């Protein structure tokens, strides 16, 4: 031993001494902490336990909710039926006593106390992290049980094998499982978020992020490296954002995956977007338009020229709606061109051009000018966000073209002030616009686990109130009885979320002489809204409430996307 030390260089000797010093301090600190705990135990005539020496079962620890345990500074360390041993740091603490009382009264747990150090307690709490991995992984197993997955991922034969492989850090399989799971649950995005002691996997399903699993930290480097290699990113660069893409090949189809990697405090974070062309609803009938709105849309699509604008925040489904319109009007004798940023879905028989934001790429306005010279019948412009694009789009609509585009406004009426703000002359707005749509996406209640319930009398009254305000001609599909609403419990068919798939809720108004008069007077958004309602427009919230009354969605989800309903 001495000989080994003597052989070391000066620098190594220094490091060695430093290490010994650190370890001594650690041992002394540990000792004094443990001695303190032992003294407390003696004072209260309770047993003292060092959890650094005695292993604790994770299942025992999680029998008490983590929040309660941390708040009350305690941990369950032994359990047999209702008899248990609970480790505390300070038996006299008010929080601790309150929690112990609660456990006895409410849970019927019969406990004996032991005293431990702060360090011991932290060690026991580490089990919550381990338990989360096991627990959420088990919920993932459920979604991986079907036959389809075996088709998707030939490498995984059964759940036990799957579980083993994930814990053995098998790079390829981990990523396969992540992607296969996302496909299986119809997720649109996969999020891998690096935290201090784990890496969190979340899926975005029907627009809402769902926690899937916490992987141990050791998975992080392997999984992220693999993703970076697949998407042709620089492997050795981890301090700047990178973008890329790769394709996941399944037995009968290919799913393109767009990848974005961003540096974070605990390592890189990854977001993967699954671009599944089959997943988008391109049928006009599947969008969720009520009969009145469907007729208005079909009428506008049959016009020889003019603009149809859809509005709403990002993720409100406006592009999907425009794709459905394009599919509806697509035929061999019309020429359709699109300008998009980016092109997410390829549509057959339609010429799609990508525009970008960086210096060298094609801009919306320039692209639009070039496209108009290509003699198209129908043009789709991904978004109107500058005055140049607005001007060219209006000109195209006025000169015999059908133009589809989106605007970033909250409601349909807001589209008009927005166009004015972009410098379009008031006199050109009415002649160029045929129809204005605003929309949001609500989640559809799962058909397999939805159930009726009777809401409170107060809620029924409020709903009646809103229905009474609805325009006569929009009252399509309102049930006679409104005493019943719907909710869901969650089942294996909907990944225990309670919802499956999404549908739009809309407000739509066509250009009319009354609206035109308002535009020429540069009237306010609220005046335009009021007139549109008088002329038969149902608002997004009203459309949402009707869909909730018909059991398509829940009032809760309408509120989530459209804001407070009963104002
Ligand atoms: Zn269900």
pLDDT digits (tens, 9 = 90+) for 487-503: 988 887 787 789 999 99
Give the pLDDT confidence score for residue 193 in this predicted structure. Answer: 93
Listed in sequence order, the residues at least 6 apart from 306 whose beta carbon sits closer than 8 Å to its beta carbon are 300, 397, 402, 403, 432, 433, 434
Yes or no: say if 183 and 256 are a contact pair by the CB < 8 Å rule.
no
Residue 534 CA to ligand 1 center (angstroms) comes to 39
Checking if the pLDDT of 246 tops 90, the result is no
* Residue in the block written with tokens 């020496």: 53
227/260 Cα distance (integer angstroms): 10
244/231 Cα distance (integer angstroms): 5
Residue 491 CA to ligand 1 center (angstroms) comes to 4
- Tokens, residue 318: 């406006």
Residue 487 CA to ligand 1 center (angstroms) comes to 10
Give the pLDDT confidence score for residue 280 in this predicted structure. Answer: 60
Residue 445 CA to ligand 1 center (angstroms) comes to 8
pTM of the model: 0.66
pLDDT band per the 50, 70, 90 thresholds, residue 477: low
Among 348, 337, 350, which Cα is nearest to 404's? Answer: 337
**Per-domain boundaries in the chain:** 33-125, 144-278, 280-440+503-539
pLDDT band per the 50, 70, 90 thresholds, residue 438: very high
Give the pLDDT confidence score for residue 58 in this predicted structure. Answer: 74
Residue 452 CA to ligand 1 center (angstroms) comes to 14
Residue 284 CA to ligand 1 center (angstroms) comes to 26
pLDDT in tens, 232-243: 888 888 888 999
Residue 443 CA to ligand 1 center (angstroms) comes to 12
Residue 496 CA to ligand 1 center (angstroms) comes to 6
At residue 247, the 3 state secondary structure works out as strand
Range with the poorest average pLDDT among 51-65, 161-175, 518-532 = 161-175
User: Stretch 378-394: mean pLDDT, rounded?
Assistant: 93
Checking if the pLDDT of 145 tops 50, the result is no
Give the pLDDT confidence score for residue 173 in this predicted structure. Answer: 65
pLDDT in tens, 21-52: 777 776 666 667 888 888 999 999 999 888 87
Residue 550 CA to ligand 1 center (angstroms) comes to 17
Residue 186 CA to ligand 1 center (angstroms) comes to 14
User: Stretch 265-285: mean pLDDT, rounded?
Assistant: 82
Residue 490 CA to ligand 1 center (angstroms) comes to 4
Q: Does domain 280-440+503-539 correspond to CATH entry 3.40.50.300?
A: yes
- Tokens, residue 456: 């409170």
Residue 448 CA to ligand 1 center (angstroms) comes to 5
Residue 469 CA to ligand 1 center (angstroms) comes to 33
Checking if the pLDDT of 507 tops 80, the result is yes
User: Stretch 390-415: mean pLDDT, rounded?
Assistant: 95
Average pLDDT value over all residues in the chain:
83
User: Stretch 552-558: mean pLDDT, rounded?
Assistant: 93
Residue 366 CA to ligand 1 center (angstroms) comes to 48
pLDDT band per the 50, 70, 90 thresholds, residue 138: very low
Q: For residue 46, count CB atoms less than 10 angstroms from its CB and return exposed for 0-12, middle for 13-18, buried for 19 or more.
A: middle
Residue 500 CA to ligand 1 center (angstroms) comes to 7
pLDDT band per the 50, 70, 90 thresholds, residue 4: very low
Checking if the pLDDT of 114 tops 80, the result is yes
Residue 341 CA to ligand 1 center (angstroms) comes to 35
- Tokens, residue 107: 């849970």
Residue 501 CA to ligand 1 center (angstroms) comes to 11
pLDDT in tens, 299-351: 999 999 999 999 999 889 998 999 999 999 998 889 999 998 888 777 878 88
Checking if the pLDDT of 366 tops 50, the result is yes
- Tokens, residue 458: 């107060």
pLDDT in tens, 161-220: 444 555 554 555 677 778 877 877 788 899 999 999 888 888 888 898 887 777 888 788
Residue 317 CA to ligand 1 center (angstroms) comes to 23
Give the pLDDT confidence score for residue 278 in this predicted structure. Answer: 63
DSSP letters for 411-435:
SSTTHHHHHHHTT--HHHHHHHEEE
CATH architecture assignment, domain 33-125: 2-Layer Sandwich (3.30)
Residue 554 CA to ligand 1 center (angstroms) comes to 13
Find out whether the peptide bond into 388 is cis, omega within 30 degrees of 0.
no
Residue 136 CA to ligand 1 center (angstroms) comes to 18
User: Stretch 375-401: mean pLDDT, rounded?
Assistant: 93
Give the pLDDT confidence score for residue 169 in this predicted structure. Answer: 40
Give the pLDDT confidence score for residue 166 in this predicted structure. Answer: 52
Residue 488 CA to ligand 1 center (angstroms) comes to 7
Residue 493 CA to ligand 1 center (angstroms) comes to 5
Residue 495 CA to ligand 1 center (angstroms) comes to 7
Give the pLDDT confidence score for residue 228 in this predicted structure. Answer: 87
Domain 144-278 class? alpha beta
Checking if the pLDDT of 380 tops 50, the result is yes
Q: Provide the residues around ligand 1 (an ion) whose CB is within 5 A.
A: 446, 448-449, 491, 493-494
Residue 208 CA to ligand 1 center (angstroms) comes to 16
- Tokens, residue 183: 């496909």
């Amino acid at each position: 031993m001495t000989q080994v030390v003597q052989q070391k260089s000066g620098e190594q000797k220094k490091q060695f001494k430093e290490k010994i010093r650190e370890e001594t301090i650690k041992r002394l600190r540990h000792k004094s902490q443990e001695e303190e705990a032992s003294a407390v135990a003696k004072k209260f005539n309770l047993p003292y336990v060092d959890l650094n020496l005695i292993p604790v079962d994770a299942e025992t620890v999680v029998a008490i909710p983590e929040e309660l345990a941390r708040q009350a500074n305690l941990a369950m360390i032994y359990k047999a039926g209702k008899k248990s041993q609970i480790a505390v740091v300070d038996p006299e603490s008010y929080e601790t006593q309150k929690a112990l009382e609660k456990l006895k009264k409410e849970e019927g747990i019969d406990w004996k106390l032991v005293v431990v150090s702060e360090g011991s307690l932290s060690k026991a709490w580490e089990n919550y992290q381990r338990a989360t991995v096991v627990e959420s992984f088990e919920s993932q197993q459920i979604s991986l049980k079907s036959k389809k997955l075996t088709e998707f991922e030939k490498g995984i034969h059964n759940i036990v094998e799957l579980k083993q492989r994930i814990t053995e850090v098998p790079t390829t399989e981990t990523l396969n499982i992540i992607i296969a799971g996302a496909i299986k649950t119809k997720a649109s995005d996969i999020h891998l978020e690096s935290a201090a002691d784990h890496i969190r996997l979340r899926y975005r399903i029907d627009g809402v992020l769902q926690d899937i699993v916490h992987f141990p930290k050791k998975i992080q480097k392997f999984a992220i490296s693999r993703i970076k290699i697949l998407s042709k990113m620089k492997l050795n660069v981890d301090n700047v954002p990178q973008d890329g893409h790769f394709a996941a090949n399944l037995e009968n189809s290919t799913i393109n995956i767009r990848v974005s990697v961003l540096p974070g405090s605990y390592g890189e974070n990854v977001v993967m977007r699954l671009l599944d062309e089959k997943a988008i609803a391109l049928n006009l009938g599947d969008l969720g338009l009520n009969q009145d709105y469907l007729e208005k849309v079909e009428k506008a699509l049959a016009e020889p020229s003019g603009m149809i604008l859809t509005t709403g925040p990002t993720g409100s489904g406006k592009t999907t709606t425009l794709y459905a319109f394009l599919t509806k009007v697509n035929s061999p004798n019309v020429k359709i061109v699109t300008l998009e940023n980016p092109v997410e879905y390829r549509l057959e028989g339609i010429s799609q051009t990508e525009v970008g934001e960086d210096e060298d790429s094609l801009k919306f306005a320039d692209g639009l000018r070039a496209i108009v010279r290509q003699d198209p019948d129908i043009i789709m412009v991904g978004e109107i966000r500058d005055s140049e694009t607005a001007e060219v789009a209006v000109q195209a609509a006025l000169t015999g073209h059908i133009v589809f585009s989106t605007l970033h406004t909250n409601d349909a009426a807001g589209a008009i002030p927005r166009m004015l703000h972009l410098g379009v002359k008031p006199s050109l707005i009415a002649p160029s616009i045929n129809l204005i749509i605003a929309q949001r996406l609500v989640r559809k209640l799962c058909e397999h686990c939805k159930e009726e319930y009777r809401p409170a009398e107060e809620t029924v009254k409020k709903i009646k109130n809103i229905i009474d305000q609805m325009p006569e001609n929009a009252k399509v599909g309102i049930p006679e009885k409104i005493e019943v609403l719907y909710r869901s419990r969650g089942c294996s068919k909907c990944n225990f979320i309670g919802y499956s798939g999404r549908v739009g809720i809309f407000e739509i108004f066509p250009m009319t002489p009354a609206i035109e008069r308002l535009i020429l007077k540069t009237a306010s958004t609220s005046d335009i809204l009021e007139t549109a309602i008088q002329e038969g427009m149902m608002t997004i919230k009203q459309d949402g409430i009707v869909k909730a009354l018909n059991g398509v969605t829940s009032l809760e989800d309408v509120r989530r996307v459209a804001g407070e309903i009963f104002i």
